[in-house]
Structure 1
Amino acid sequence: MNLIDTYEPILKARRDEINARLQKIDSDLGKQRPADSEERATESENDEVLEEFGSTGQAELKAIDAALSRIKAGTFGTCVKCGDPISPERLEAVPYTPFCKTCAASL
């Protein structure tokens, strides 16, 4: 099995999972809030956490989309910095990584 057959479905499934989670976050952030000031303070803290999850999800989506673009371009699995192959262990850990272990460590 080649890299594309292995990782394209993994990346697409993760993208779908993140999109579903982001839709839920948007829905939760759009809900009416209680009038009670104590509950409002708690809800405000919860909103901050949801917004951070949303930001993290957006960043991961960008990385996944970039990896899917590299698949289409035929460059997936090759470090964008040095051009060396990305190890299978690294791709297994972070399927959307654009960098080999050496280049990632130097960032």
Structure 2
Amino acid sequence: MTEQTLARLQEQQQQYRQRIEALQRDLTREYPADSGEQAQERENDEVMEALLLEAREGLRQTESALQRLQDGSYGLCSGCGEKIAAARLEAMPDALMCIDCASRAEPG
């Protein structure tokens, strides 16, 4: 499982990096001279900035999972210390908590 997990996390890391790079490139482009088009582009920038924040957080979580894999704590819940279910790790390879701890930690 470790080699397969490592490969999945590295692929996920690369995808986040590419997404961040593309979003940053789009956010630094020139605006059209037309004020109507410029207003629309600026609205789009707000959406792209939100996507950029989301991608950065995903990258941070993925890199944290890679660090846990390296130090041997991968797959252990940060809340209770028990093993995280394999199915959860399959669905979310960067999961930090077991489903029980994650559901208790959610606001609401």
Same fold (TM over 0.5): yes
Q: How far did residue 6 of structure 1 move?
A: 2.2
4+ runs deviating over 6 angstroms: none
Amino acid at match of 1:58: R
Q: Which position in structure 1 is the counterpart of 2:102?
A: 104
Q: Which position in structure 2 is the counterpart of 1:33?
A: 31
Are positions 1:54 and 2:69 aligned together?
A: no
For 1:17 and 1:62, locate their aligned partners in 2 and report how far apart those are by CA, in whole Å: 13
Amino acid at match of 2:82: D
Q: How far did residue 92 of structure 1 move?
A: 1.3
Q: Which position in structure 1 is the counterpart of 2:78?
A: 80
| Alignment deviations for residues 66-107 of structure 1 (CA, whole Å, 9 cap, x no partner) | 100100110101101111110011111111011000000000
Q: How far did residue 21 of structure 1 move?
A: 1.1
- RMSD of the alignment, in Å? 0.8
Normalised to the residue count of structure 1, the TM-score between the two structures is 0.94
For 2:57 and 2:25, locate their aligned partners in 1 and report how far apart those are by CA, in whole Å: 19
Q: Which position in structure 1 is the counterpart of 2:17?
A: 19
For 2:69 and 2:95, locate their aligned partners in 1 and report how far apart those are by CA, in whole Å: 12
For 1:19 and 1:67, locate their aligned partners in 2 and report how far apart those are by CA, in whole Å: 15
Normalised to the residue count of structure 2, the TM-score between the two structures is 0.93
Amino acid at match of 2:30: Q
| Alignment deviations for residues 3-42 of structure 1 (CA, whole Å, 9 cap, x no partner) | x222111010011011011111111111110111110111
Instruction: Structure 2 unaligned segments of length 5 or more: list them.
Output: none
| Number of equivalences | 105
